[in-house]
Structure 1
Amino acid sequence: MAEIVALFLALCVQLLALPVYVLSFLGLWDPFCKKVFFPFFMEKTMVNYNQKMLRHKQDLFRNMMDFADPSGKLSVLELGTGTGTNFQFFPPNCRITCTDPNPHFKERLAKSMAKNKHLEYGNFITTPGEDLSQIPDASVDVVVCTLVLCSVKNVEAVLREICRVLKPGGAFYFLEHVAAERSSWSFFWQQVYRPTWALVFDGCSLTRAIWADIEKASFSEIKLKHIHAPFPWTPIQAHIVGYAVK
């Protein structure tokens, strides 16, 4: 019965979002989403997200310098940098290489770079996380990926690339919304919103068990916590946070 109700409610949500579905059918939504809507949406909403997740992000990145090279410098590769919302949490003496499959974040990313002068910035590479071929093997101390694995096409491929580019003993930092417990109301509503959510928010999936992919990847040590993020009445309350060492 619950599955039937979820299907009915999902159809209701799709009906409410009918203009978006029509634009998608006409081939107009995807370019508008990538160029205008999604960069604007992320710039505005990530301010509120960072406020509510402040303690979690501070705790997550607190030990980044433990993975610096002997000179005290830290090379960081961030996947899906977007608007640069994580820069404020990174310690000084970091050199950041930014990647994102969407080139239309560049203007907003430049604003974040200007506000965070304690960091050194490398190139912006337009590429999906599944293809980091421009980054040499074992060349970075830390890889950062937050709210990205929900929308990549192949999580396992991204994690393989992360393991490849990390130096031995390097760390992968992650913060992702994930599937809620299957027996919970949160999972029920994730099922309801899933099709429309993915369309509106550039392929973002609400029901991925990303922790399982990380646990299966080639890391020697994993520090992972499941947390309940403070976003009531949304389908993104279930999160994982932590880091994994190559």
Structure 2
Amino acid sequence: MDASHDVLPSKLEEYAPTTPDAFRPHPLRGPFNALFFTALDRYLDHLLQPHKRSLFGNLPRTVVELGPGVGANLRYLRAGTRLIAVEPNPAMHDRLRARAARARIDLELHTTGAERLDLPDASVDAVISSLVLCTVPDPVAVLTEVHRVLRPGGRYAFLEHVAAPDGTVLRRLQRAARRPWSWTFEGCSCERDLQTVVEAAGFAETTIEAYRLRSPFLPVNTQIAGVARKHN
């Protein structure tokens, strides 16, 4: 699928605030999310493993991960991988460091937001993220940064949850749960059309699969997984 665009579609303007808010750690939500994702790590990986194994199973020795949290994706990286981890939530850091040490991952922790990566232009071959674009204030800016830091031919591999089709019961549930879900999970939105956002980000090629989880976490059961490649 050719995803090159010269002009961002007007429907994406809702995802592009003029000045993204900086991440502000919350004394309750931050520790809760670190504990939640640690406690449910094996179950969540069981749900997502088939797609993650395909996306993250053959990465280069240096990888940038946006929002690695407590390190759910470290199991897919080879020992000795240099992981540039962009994680602004300090409640995640101790668990992430400990897990990286156990996995023999060379962790380089960056605490900036993903909208402003402190990395040089065209400096890495791979960027990955899972369940991250739902939480950032400005996913368009994040993808602009991903495109900027990738070398020609580099790839962005991602797994995200998205809005269910209009008019469905699940979409109505997502809308009803929007506010409490967002507050609990650090701004996470259940209703973003992230496939359109990725396809409009200027990559030379995108391959995206839409699928549905069978889990009790109904608001996030509609998902996409894919790879976007920068032009050579």
Structure of higher CA gyration radius: 1
Residues 1:52 and 2:39 aligned together? no
Runs of 4+ displaced beyond 4 Å: none
Q: Are the structure 2 counterparts of residues 125 and 194 from structure 1 closer, same or farther at C-alpha, using a change threshold of 3 Å?
A: same
Distance 1:50 1:233 in 2: 14
Counterpart secondary structure, 1:37: helix
* AA partner of residue 141 (structure 2): A
Q: Could you tell me which residue of structure 2 aligns to residue 126 of structure 1?
A: 111
From 120, 123, 127, give the equivalent of 1:143: 127
Q: What is the CA distance between 1:55 and its match in structure 2?
A: 1.4
Which residue of structure 2 aligns with residue 111 of structure 1? 98
In structure 1, the partner of 2:70 is 83
Q: Which amino acid aligns with 2:77?
A: F
Contact 1:138-1:164 within 8 A present in 2 as well:
yes
Distance in 1, matches of 2:166 and 2:152, equals 36
How far the C-alpha of 1:63 sits from its partner, in A, is 3.7
Q: What CA deviation, in whole Å up to 9, does each residue of 1:104-153 have, x standing for no partner?
A: 21111022112212x333x2110111010x21111011001111000000
CA contact (8 A) 2:174 2:219 kept: yes
Matched, 1:208 2:192: yes
Which amino acid in the other structure matches residue 34 of structure 2? P
Q: TM-score, normalised by structure 1?
A: 0.80
Query: What fraction of aligned residue pairs are identical, expressed as a percent?
Result: 35
Cα deviation, residue 232, structure 1: 4.0
Which residue of 223, 227, 230 corresponds with 1:243? 227
What TM-score does the superposition give when structure 2 sets the normalisation length? Answer: 0.84
- How far the C-alpha of 1:209 sits from its partner, in A, is 0.5
Alignment of 1:185-200 (within 5 A): 185-200=169-184
1:163-215 Cα deviation digits (max 9, x unpaired): 00011100001000110111221111101101111011110000000110000
CA distance in 1: counterparts of 2:155 and 2:127, whole angstroms: 6
Name the structure 2 match of 1:62: 57
- Consecutive unaligned residues of structure 2, counting only runs of 5 or more, are 1-24
In the alignment, structure 1 residue 179 sits paired with structure 2 residue 163: yes
C-alpha contact 1:85 1:112 (8 A) present in aligned 2: no
RMSD: 1.6
SS in 2 for 1:53: helix
Q: Does 1:43 align with 2:38?
A: yes
Asked if 1:229 is matched to 2:216, the reply is no
How far residue 92 of structure 1 moved from its aligned partner, in angstroms, is: 4.6
Structure-2 change in CA distance of 1:160 and 1:170 (3 Å) = same
Gap regions ≥5 residues in structure 1: 1-28, 69-73
Q: Which amino acid aligns with 2:129?
A: C
Alignment match, 2:27: 31
User: Shift of the alpha carbon at 1:158?
Assistant: 0.3
**SS of alignment partner, residue 30 of structure 1:** coil
Work out whether residues 79 and 103 of structure 2, in 8 Å CA contact, stay in contact via their aligned partners in 1: no
